Amino acid sequence: MNYFAKILPGTHNFILIFFVVFSTLQLSGQITITTNDMPSPGDTIRKSVSFSTAGIDFTLTGDDYVWDFSSLSTLYQSVDTFVSVSSVPFLYQFVFIPNIIANVAQKFPGIDTLGLPVTDPYIFFKNSSSSFNDVGFAITVNEIPIPLKFDDADIIYKFPVEYGNVDSSYSGVEFGINDLGFISIERKRVNETDGWGTLTTSYGTFDVLRMKSTVEETDSIYIDSLGFGTTLDRFYIEYKWMANGFDDPVLQITEEGPLVTVTWIDSIFDPFTNIAEPRILHSDISISPNPLSDNGKLQINLTDKTKVQLLIFNIEGIPVYNVFDGELEKGKHSFAINKHVSKLCSGIYFVRMNTNSEILTRKLIVR
């Protein structure tokens, strides 16, 4: 006879059933996130993006909580692409040694910073049994490769991720090249897994853990050719809802000052009657200068002859200025933009390019 039967005769079957049911409830509710739930080379993850939470208080959390974000409205979609480190530009690999320093990289579209063309931008990660770390990034400026490895990694997740976990990390890098410039990043991250329960989005319903990441960051940059430099102190909070088997948060809300960015894993949608379904982008768009103080230009590079619509949206997703609407040949095209003509007040905007086959968005800051 077992111990429970000795002390409580006739009740051991009830106790056994209780513990079985209790364990089942625990397993079905409080999931655990491990290294197997992180992105791998070859993964592509489609996400919907919005700048409105539809009036939902996304800070609320707790035990066995129910979050319903099914009313979120998609502004546009993007695709996160992850590749092997051995496939990135060769000079990057000297710093981010494949499978030693980093074992997965994320590719981003080309950008334009302070009037300088930036190409081949990647973020590098190291996924191990103990943590998933941001180990640095690399860009090419004026055809000069600049790989920037953090002195200490930014710990995105410490495994296993479980309800109640709290951890922190300090990361940063300093880098300078004579006659080019200087860049530095200092970052402190505090992660707190502060909730668990059920999340619903337009993509489905999931058992999730909720993590709140508070980030304090100081970014400094100086460009020799422009004789100009700036330091930006940033404070932002990432709210992440994680489910097993999805490689990325099924929903993430980032709050930085007045700007709230919402992204969630989703299926393909078509919000425009004359535009084919969004897919991985091949064309490009750049804004210079950005931030915009007075006059600037938008430059697009088209891979095919196509109908193009260039719109500027405010932070609420409302179109405020039509830059161009018509058909264009393959290649590069430039459009002048003036802060006063377009009646853009100081703030954050988004330039969106719609073509017959693509949707592409870039952030525009107006001073």
Per-residue model confidence (pLDDT) at position 208: 95
Per-residue model confidence (pLDDT) at position 290: 80
Per-residue model confidence (pLDDT) at position 288: 83
Taking the domains of the chain in order of start, what are their residue ranges?
A: 1-30, 35-265, 284-366
Alpha-carbon separation of residue 65 from 21, 23, 34, 200 (angstroms): 20, 18, 21, 11
pLDDT confidence band for 13 (50 / 70 / 90) = low
Fold type of domain 284-366: Immunoglobulin-like (2.60.40)
Residue 210 · residue 30 · CB < 8 Å: no
Residue 317 · residue 72 · CB < 8 Å: no
pLDDT confidence band for 9 (50 / 70 / 90) = very low
pLDDT at residue 80 tops 80: yes
Could you read off the pLDDT of 289-332 as tens digits, one per residue?
888 888 888 888 888 888 888 988 876 667 888 999 889 998 88
Per-residue model confidence (pLDDT) at position 270: 52
Per-residue model confidence (pLDDT) at position 115: 53
Could you read off the pLDDT of 217-270 as tens digits, one per residue?
998 877 766 666 788 899 999 999 999 989 999 999 999 988 899 999 998 755
| CB-based contacts of 331, cutoff 8 Å, min separation 6 | 301, 302
Per-residue model confidence (pLDDT) at position 225: 63
Mean pLDDT, the chain, whole residue set:
83
Average pLDDT score over residue span 16-33: 54
pLDDT at residue 1 tops 60: no
**Matching residue, tokens 């200490």:** 152
pLDDT at residue 113 tops 60: no
Q: What is the distance between the alpha carbons of residues 158 and 130, in angstroms, rounded to a whole number?
A: 6
Strand partners, 168: 190
Reference 30, options 228, 342, 242, 231; nearest CA is 242
pLDDT confidence band for 179 (50 / 70 / 90) = low
